Amino acid sequence: MPGKALGEDSPDRKPIRVALLGCGTVGTEVVRLLTGQADDLTARIGAPVELVGIAVRKPNKHRDVPAELLTTDSAALVAGDVDVVVELIGGIEPARTLLLDALRAGKSVVSANKALLAEHSAELFEAADASGADLYFEAAVAGAIPLLRPLRESLAGDRITRVMGIVNGTTNFILSGMDSTGASYSETLEEATRLGYAEADPTADVDGFDAASKAAILASLAFHSRVTASDVYREGIASVSAADIAAAKGLGRTVKLLAICERVTRDGHESVAVRVHPAMIPRTHPLAGVNGAFNAVFVEADAAGEMMFYGQGAGGAPTASAVLGDLVAAARNRVVGGRGPRESAYAGLSARPMGQTPTRYHISLDVADRPGVLSQVAAVFAEHDVSIAAVRQEGRVDDASLVIVTHAATDAALRSTVDKIGGLPVVREVVSVMRVEGEES
C-alpha cells in the first residue's frame, strides 16, 4: 500500500510507519495535524512519520484525505508493515481484536476508545507487556486535557485519595444551561442537540455510560487497581428538574454530573468507590465554574494536595491533540528504544458497592402542614442512624414542603431512610432526592 512520508527532508532515519483506524471528526483532524506539523513532529520524534493507511468503512465519504491511503480492510492494514496503530473507531469490536493483534505483534497502540479500555484494559496491557509494545490512551478521557499521563507518571510517587470531575461535555452543557436559564431538562437537551453538543441519540451521554467508562479508567490509574465500567455506580441526568436546579441555587450550590473515584477505609479495609451521578456542589468549588461543554477534573493527593485539570473535553481538534501527544511518545520510544508506562495494578483494591459508600443527600418532601411532621420525619432519620445537617420548611397548608440535607452516611442507609419517609402518612410525596458533594452546609 502506498504511503505518504511526512517530513522527508528531516533527519535521515527510517520513518515511523503509522496505521490509522477510523477517520471521523477526530481522525480527520489527526491527518491534518500529521500533515501540517510534519517537520515539527519529525524533530520531536527524531524520525519522520509515514502515514501508510487509513481504514474506513466507506471510502467515498472521506474526500478530505488522500484517496490512496484509504482501505476497508482494517485487519490487513494492522497486519502490514506498521510501527504504530492509532485506533479511533470506538466500540468494543472489531477494535478489541484489531488492537490485540497489533500489540501481540509488537506494534505500539494509541487509542481514544474509553469503552474498550474501561472493559478490556487488563487484556490489552497483558498483550502489550508480553510483546514489549506501548499502549497509550490519553485521548480516552477529557479530550485535550493532559490528565492520564499526570496520573500515570507525574503523581506516581504520591498517594491519590480522590478524583472528582466533570468528564462529559454534553451533560455539562445541559446542566449549565438549566442553571443559567431555568429551563427544563427536555428544553435544554433540545437546544444542545440543535447546536451539535448532543448526539441524535444522546443515551450514552445523558444516562452516564460515557462518564462511567471514563471513571473506570481514572480509578484504575489513580488507585493502581483494576476497575471496570461494571464496577461503577451510574445515574444519568434525565431526572434532574428545574426545581432541583432552583433548590441547589437556594443552598448556594449548582448541579453537575460528577465522576467520583475515592479511597474508602472502613473497619481497617481499604477499597475503591467509583460512581457517576448528578450532585449539588457549592458554587465556591472550582468545579462549579466549569460551564458549557468544558471538562475539569479535581484531584486530591497526600503530598501534592489539591489540583484541577481544565480544558476542552471533546471535539475533533482537542481530542486529536491528545492523540498526537501519544503518537509522539510511542514513536519516540521506537526511535530511542524506550518503553512507555506499563499497567500498575499492584494495589488490587476491590470496588466498594454503592450501598456501602458514604455520601450525603438533599431531600425535598411535600408534607402535610400539621404539628409533629418534622418530629416524625426526624424519627425515621434517627432510626437509620442518619444525621440531619440542615432542615428548612417552606409554605403552608397544601404547599408545605420540607427540605433536608444530611450528614454523611452509607448510601444504603440514606436510601432506606428515604423509602421509609415516603410511606409516612404526613408525607404526600418525596419530590426529589439528590446527592450532595463538597463541604457541609
Q: Provide DSSP, 221-236.
A: HHHTS---GGGSEE--
HSE (CB half, 13 Å, CA atoms) of 90? 8
Q: Judge residue 256's burial from the number of C-beta atoms within 10 Å of its C-beta, 0-12 exposed, 13-18 middle, 19 or more buried.
A: buried
Q: 4 catalytic, yes or no?
A: no
Please check whether residue 259 is in contact with residue 235, taking contact to mean a CB–CB distance below 8 angstroms. no
Residue 249's H or E segment, with its range, is helix 242-250
Q: Which three cell numbers stand for residue 128?
A: 502489550
Rounded to 5 degrees, what are φ and ψ at 282?
-60, 145
Cis peptide leading into residue 94 (ω within 30°): yes
Three-class secondary structure of residue 298 per DSSP: strand
Give 112-131 as a 3 state SS string.
CCHHHHHHHHHHHHHHHHHH
CA 387 to chain centroid:
32
User: What count of residues does the chain have?
Assistant: 441
Of the candidates 389, 143, 354, the residue with the CA atom closest to the CA atom of residue 262: 354
In degrees and rounded to multiples of 5, residue 262 shows phi and psi of: -150, 150
Report the candidate in 106, 81, 77, 76 with the shortest Cα–Cα distance to residue 15. 81
Contacts of 379 (CB under 8 A, 6+ apart): none
Of 214, 249, 256, 420, which is the active-site residue?
Answer: 214
Q: Are the CB atoms for 206 and 190 separated by under 8 Å?
A: no
Scanning the structure block, which residue is given the C-alpha cell 428545574?
A: 242
Residues acting as catalytic residues = 214
